[in-house]
Amino acid sequence: MIENDSIWATNIHYLNDSKEFNHAIDMVGYIVRDIKRDLKDTIDVQLAENLSEILKERMTSSSVYVACFSTVMDDLSQWRGYCPSGFGYCIKFDAGELAEVAGLQGFNLVQCIYDGRDQVRIINEWVRATINDLRAVLPEKTDPRQHVQTSFELYANSFLGIAPRLKSRAFHNEAEWRLVSAIPMGDPRIKLRPTRSMIAPYVEIELGMKTDEDLVVGIIAGPTPHGRLAFNSLMHLHYKIKIGGQGTESSAIPYRDW
């Protein structure tokens, strides 16, 4: 990250949560089944059913890329979960500055939603609004499925703005925010990196840490058997990137697994 002056945004289907993104697609199916009881018009029912089916067909392999962050700093569970034993660093970014830098490259900074009731409300609102819009512009004597097929792209972007934000309650302690962008297959920015069991598509988000004094506001050296050396090595970063705000520090967590 430091040497390349960038962070990697990975295709959402390759992240740790095996149900990433598909969770929102499944929720649309559940909600469509529920609201069909409230729909009095046969055409509306058909539009709802077709919306759920076509969403699953088109979106299951969608090309959405995300880079993940947390508002929780120096956190024991994240040192354990994301760092090798005895080695790790936490880089603190200014959220507003990060959003501006990434926004110029097509990414939006969004907060993840873990509460199930909020997720249901958001998806329910999207489904009902989309059905109403589809019905309002349905040409006379047009097959509802064909109408959803031809009109789907008009509503896909709004769904892509919602789906990457919905995460399982099991991950709520991470208090995650994400940089999100829909990047089509074949985009020259897409690269591949090895993981433990496959290769994963990713794109680089250029940061400008070497010149932007407001982007990085601090760095924490994680729990390690070589605490003093790990902290001292951070001093060299001042010659490579601009670090403002809180500067550099060592983890305050008395954790040891070495």
| Mean pLDDT of each 10-residue bin along the chain, 258 residues long | 93 80 91 88 93 90 91 92 89 96 97 96 96 94 94 91 91 94 94 92 95 92 92 87 86 84
Number of domains comprising the chain: 1
Tokens of 16: 């740790």
Question: Residue 53: its pLDDT value, please?
Answer: 95
Strand-pair partners of 181: 65
Question: Residue 256: its pLDDT value, please?
Answer: 81
Query: Does some domain include residue 175?
Result: yes
Q: Specify the pTM.
A: 0.87
Query: Does some domain include residue 106?
Result: yes
Tokens of 166: 């919905």
Write the DSSP string, 162-213: TGGGB--GGGGGG-EEEEEEE--TT-TT-EEEE-SSSEEEEEEEE--TTT-T
Residue 45 domain boundaries: 6-250
Q: Which residue has the tokens 């962008």?
A: 181
Query: Does some domain include residue 256?
Result: no
Query: Does some domain include residue 1?
Result: no
Question: Residue 18: its pLDDT value, please?
Answer: 58
d(CA 190, CA 183): 8
Please provide residue 74's backbone torsions phi and psi, each rounded to the nearest 5 degrees: 50, 55
Query: Does some domain include residue 258?
Result: no
